[in-house]
Structure 1
Amino acid sequence: MKKKWFLSANLALAMAFSAFGQNPVQVKYANTITAEDLREYLTYLASDEMKGRDTGSEEGKIAANYLADFYKNLGLTGPADGSYFQSVPLVSNAFTKVTLQVGKNKLVENEDFVFTGDGNMPKAVKGDLVFLGLVTDENLAKVDVKGKLVGLWAVGVRSNDLVAKVMDAGAAGIVIVTMEGQANFDRIANRYKTLAGRGRIGFDQETKQRPVFMVSSDKMAELFATPVETLKEAAKANPESIASQKATYQVVKTKTPVEAVNVMGYLEGTDKKEEVLVISSHYDHVGVSSTGEVFNGADDDGSGTVSVMEIAEAFAIAAKEGNRPRRSILFLNVTGEEKGLLGSQYYSENPIFPIANTVNNINIDMVGRIDYEYQNAENKDYVYVIGSEMLSSHLKKINEYNNITYTNLILDYRYDAEDDPNRFYYRSDHYNFAKFDIPVIFFFNGVHDDYHQVTDTVDKIEFPLMTKRAQLIFHTAWDLANRDQRTPVDGTNTRTDR
């Protein structure tokens, strides 16, 4: 993928004279962001005692109170009628019994399959499992899917729309392969096993009878008594050549309310106070494993959360010393990101301040580490920047100017592409602001071996680099909060579908 590291002529000129362009007031407050403070806050939030800050957990509530107290002590206000919390109405959907049997093969949940769909079936359902393979109109014309479990081959494609199309064609449920190789499937199954018993947290919605069972390519071949390569070929054009199988399945679901909150600290601006800059992170992580190991979430997203705290402190100190920003700033730590960007979705759809008055969202998610791409690089002072030029022609330039003037990080745009196979743009909270045409900028350090593992711990954080990244974000926020005109929305949101 082509790396877009090119600077405009104006920015190149700014680089040459950056020493003369620094604002000493801005530098003074940026320097209050220190590695020592970041380490102190993160050591607490990502400690074993916080048990992974799972959404709606007691430790998640402790983390929320810790953030609210921090903002209160800074002198920031609670913008929700004096409160620092916005309640997010969630429920836990627990599938207390999920069974799948094909022929005499009784599959084991979270070993042979993972359940990714929805449904509530008090009695077991018996029927046929047929093979459709690729979801094409030609295949659908060859295979009768009505009232049946349907085997799909969806490797390398987005499966949600395919599942919907087959269910709309009358299928009773889906058995799907989304990745080849047993090892890839086992990683997914292990994660589901870790989360087993806690339920899936989300907004309360009507139950859909849409059972979806994900299996490995090897398991699908076993179910149809057909070699993998033969099944792959049949998936393309002759799925009817694969014999159907008898199947029995059941899904039992229970719902439990979950108490969860977004945390907010508000700093009112001066002459442009009606306009609001939102600086966000998610403070939740994924809790503990089935064996009691803690997913500390130091990088994901403890690093972003404590960066927001330090940036808030820098602005609060400036305000106390008579350098209050022109625009207002909302420091927003959202819940439920790990469950599907839930907290940011709720805020964007139920904003404390009108969306029309929200000028930008700066989102910080994982800024404490060095990823695979840079682990052996000579210069490791980098950060990935995502989404900054989609909706506004100004935002990327503003960030680049402040980087050249103050921090001189490598700004890497390789993941800021519509065809990024990692889909990082769609995987953090800025997404829910961009969908309302708010110009966003997402700061990210990339993935590493400890991503979503119990080994994502504080001792592996690169605090000097994290400090530099947080200072860049502060400088960009200072600029956005104080410039004469808000960044124009002169682009089109081309990434609307998660």
Structure 2
Amino acid sequence: MRKIFLGLSLLTVLVAGAQKKTNPTTFGKSITADDLKRHLYIVAGPEMEGRNTPSPGLERAATYIENQFKSFGLLPGNNGTYRQFYPLYKDSITGSTLKVNGTTFTADNDYQVNAMTSYNASLRLGEAVFVGYGIVDGDVWNDYKDVNVTGKVVILANGSPANYKTTATGFSSPANLSVKIRNAQTKGAIAVFVVADNFPRKPIVSGGNYQLNGYAASVYPQVVNISEKVAAQIIGADGEGILAKLKAGNAPSKAYKAKIDLSVNKVTKEELVSNVIGIVEGSDKKDEYVVVTAHYDHEGIRADGTIYYGADDDGSGTVSVIEMAEAFAKAKAAGKGPRRTMVFMTVSGEEKGLWGSEYYGNNPVFPLEKTSVNLNIDMIGRIGSDYTGKDKDSLNYVYVIGDDKLSTDLTPVTDIANKYVKLKLDKRYNDINDKNRFYYRSDHYNFAKNGVPAIFYFNGVHADYHKPTDTPDKINYPLMAKRAQLVFYTAWEIANRDDMMKRDLKLEIPGR
């Protein structure tokens, strides 16, 4: 028995070694411009209606992708099904009232409630605290100094004073309204009234946008935009022309007694959407995984019937995943399949905030600690504006983003894979100071932030980016095929190497 066991073990090693040395070009070259074009005219066709998340068109696209995986012989990737469903939540305001010191105000004329920043409640409050711009910035600035806002209404203005300077920018800035609301929450405020001078306003749609996280770990204060008229009714004489006084530096933080009645009523709708997952099972390392992703959603269709086709963004990545899945399935059928399990996943909700990949990152079907790499394809069918008419490599390049992050193995493997296709690998967006922040804007990031080495393949933005004119007829199919082949050969190398990709680099995140 022992001799037989040793013999079988030796055979397994020899087979694994033979698989690793298999020339992948036969399978890589099966990814063709013609096949990509055939798939893309369907995925980015009018029937899919722009693949908004959620929408019937998105569901039709998911069904098409699932059927392709089935036809290639891929196994269902999520416990017997090709779908990983996740819920979305949409809030709609059904009514609201605001009364201050006996005076009833009118929605949109005097105040406005947003479904995304409010919750069902009926509040009667007897004290409000004006906190200027509501900025908290360490020792530099603190509008809450010497006031207590626990359980009270906070009144603040958007923006920042002229003499306030901060090194943080964008969503991290203490002057950002979301940051101000979080600070008010931390300090115990029950509601935040944001004073603005642009009333009356047009009514906002009663229904908010869909969101992924319908159950917050902590509830924000009730947020209401109010006119200066409402502010004056609460604050009294100090509130007359409050924004001008604040700008002049004559509006200190202070508490005011007032009788405030606020009620908000809203309803929540829940809808399911899905990621589509198919696998080609590995051999001796089948419990380790190579995940290839692209997002199959886009911007949808306007009320007037205008379709955002999303051929490049990200129909190009979606059909490349389909073609790669078929190539690996062919290798498996020929007895030359991968050592690690290949996971092909098209995710939804990317355009809304990386929803599908975020959900997968929080609810992985396959252990992230056993996921060797994520290779993410998002727009590889066009010539970007940096190359159009300006560069000799305009017909032979791709942006490779992230091969210098998390793993020192990524760059060598990419170079090995590129020997098959000989593309110019443009790595300018690896720069930690890239103002576009591309590395943090596509689905691979939800793998990277969980420690999985990841590469993002990209052609750059162009004149049709996020416009209805991003159509299949404008795709450069031969170039797209080469780019997809690069991802295939990279996946092949990683799937068949002896070791998982090292995780030996710390992920740098700008602003932290």
Q: TM-score, normalised by structure 1?
A: 0.77
Pairwise CA distance, 1:105: 10
Paired residue type of 2:332 = A
Look up the match of 1:423: 437
- Partners of 2:420 and 2:125 in 1: how far apart? 64
How many matched pairs? 450
Confirm whether residue 169 of structure 1 aligns to residue 199 of structure 2: no
Q: Pick the aligned partner of 1:477 from 462, 466, 491.
A: 491
- 8 Å CA contact 2:292–2:375 kept in 1: the answer is yes
Change (3 A) 1:77 1:24: closer
For residues 112-151 of structure 1, the aligned pairs below 5 Å read: 117-121=117-121, 131-132=132-133, 134-136=135-137, 137-141=141-145, 147-151=153-157
Pairwise CA distance, 1:389: 2.2
For the residue of structure 2 that corresponds to 1:363, the secondary structure is strand
- Partners of 1:439 and 1:176 in 2: how far apart? 45
- Partners of 1:196 and 1:407 in 2: how far apart? 52
- 8 Å CA contact 1:295–1:456 kept in 2: the answer is yes
Pairwise CA distance, 1:292: 3.3
- 8 Å CA contact 1:385–1:441 kept in 2: the answer is yes
- Partners of 1:421 and 1:98 in 2: how far apart? 41
- Partners of 2:268 and 2:276 in 1: how far apart? 25
Look up the match of 2:423: 409
- 8 Å CA contact 1:142–1:239 kept in 2: the answer is no
For residues 92-131 of structure 1, the aligned pairs below 5 Å read: 92-95=90-93, 117-121=117-121, 131=132
- Partners of 2:424 and 2:224 in 1: how far apart? 43
- Aligned alpha-carbon RMSD (Å): 4.1
Look up the match of 2:505: 491
- Partners of 2:424 and 2:70 in 1: how far apart? 35
- Partners of 1:355 and 1:135 in 2: how far apart? 37
- 8 Å CA contact 1:266–1:328 kept in 2: the answer is yes
For the residue of structure 2 that corresponds to 1:259, the secondary structure is strand
For the residue of structure 2 that corresponds to 1:277, the secondary structure is strand
Q: Pick the aligned partner of 1:346 from 333, 351, 359.
A: 359
Task: Return the index of the structure with the highest Cα Rg.
Answer: 2
Of 125-134 and 66-75, the range deviating more from structure 2: 125-134
Paired residue type of 2:311 = A
Confirm whether residue 255 of structure 1 aligns to residue 268 of structure 2: yes
For the residue of structure 2 that corresponds to 1:140, the secondary structure is coil
* Deviation readout 1:264-288 (Å, 9 max, x if unpaired): 1110111211111000111122322
- 8 Å CA contact 1:335–1:342 kept in 2: the answer is yes
Pairwise CA distance, 1:107: 5.1
Look up the match of 2:5: none
Look up the match of 1:20: none
Change (3 A) 1:252 1:465: farther
Change (3 A) 1:149 1:278: same
Pairwise CA distance, 1:138: 3.1
Q: Pick the aligned partner of 2:44 from 43, 46, 52.
A: 46
Pairwise CA distance, 1:305: 0.8
For residues 362-401 of structure 1, the aligned pairs below 5 Å read: 362-378=375-391, 379-380=393-394, 381-401=396-416
- Partners of 1:303 and 1:67 in 2: how far apart? 13
Pairwise CA distance, 1:62: 1.5
Look up the match of 1:61: 59
- 8 Å CA contact 2:132–2:143 kept in 1: the answer is no
Look up the match of 2:232: none
- 8 Å CA contact 1:311–1:470 kept in 2: the answer is yes
Of 424-433 and 259-268, the range deviating more from structure 2: 424-433
For the residue of structure 2 that corresponds to 1:204, the secondary structure is coil
Paired residue type of 1:54 = N
* Deviation readout 1:218-271 (Å, 9 max, x if unpaired): xxxxx96868xx98896xxx87499x9x99987543211212121111101112
Confirm whether residue 455 of structure 1 aligns to residue 459 of structure 2: no
- Partners of 1:256 and 1:439 in 2: how far apart? 36
For residues 241-320 of structure 1, the aligned pairs below 5 Å read: 252-320=265-333
Paired residue type of 1:297 = G
For the residue of structure 1 that corresponds to 2:463, the secondary structure is coil
Q: TM-score, normalised by structure 2?
A: 0.75
- Partners of 2:307 and 2:482 in 1: how far apart? 28
- Partners of 1:67 and 1:138 in 2: how far apart? 53
Pairwise CA distance, 1:75: 0.8
Look up the match of 1:357: 370
For the residue of structure 2 that corresponds to 1:165, the secondary structure is helix
Paired residue type of 1:205 = Y
Paired residue type of 1:208 = V
Look up the match of 1:31: 29
Look up the match of 2:212: 202
Pairwise CA distance, 1:376: 3.2
* Deviation readout 1:166-206 (Å, 9 max, x if unpaired): 332345226499xxxx9xxxxxx99x98x984732313315
Change (3 A) 1:256 1:130: same
- 8 Å CA contact 2:143–2:253 kept in 1: the answer is no
For the residue of structure 2 that corresponds to 1:148, the secondary structure is strand
Look up the match of 1:9: none
For the residue of structure 1 that corresponds to 2:272, the secondary structure is strand
- Partners of 2:507 and 2:65 in 1: how far apart? 32
* Deviation readout 1:42-88 (Å, 9 max, x if unpaired): 11111222112122322222211111110010011113232111221
- Partners of 2:415 and 2:263 in 1: how far apart? 54
- 8 Å CA contact 1:415–1:424 kept in 2: the answer is yes
For the residue of structure 1 that corresponds to 2:286, the secondary structure is strand
Look up the match of 1:73: 71
- Partners of 1:321 and 1:358 in 2: how far apart? 25
- Partners of 1:84 and 1:478 in 2: how far apart? 22
Paired residue type of 1:280 = T
Of 43-52 and 419-428, the range deviating more from structure 2: 419-428
Structure 1: any 5+ residue segments left out of the alignment? Answer: 1-22, 183-188, 216-222
- Partners of 1:285 and 1:239 in 2: how far apart? 46
Change (3 A) 1:428 1:105: same
Paired residue type of 1:309 = I
Pairwise CA distance, 1:323: 1.5
- 8 Å CA contact 2:91–2:266 kept in 1: the answer is yes
- 8 Å CA contact 1:143–1:239 kept in 2: the answer is no
Q: Pick the aligned partner of 1:446 from 460, 475, 483.
A: 460
Paired residue type of 2:186 = D
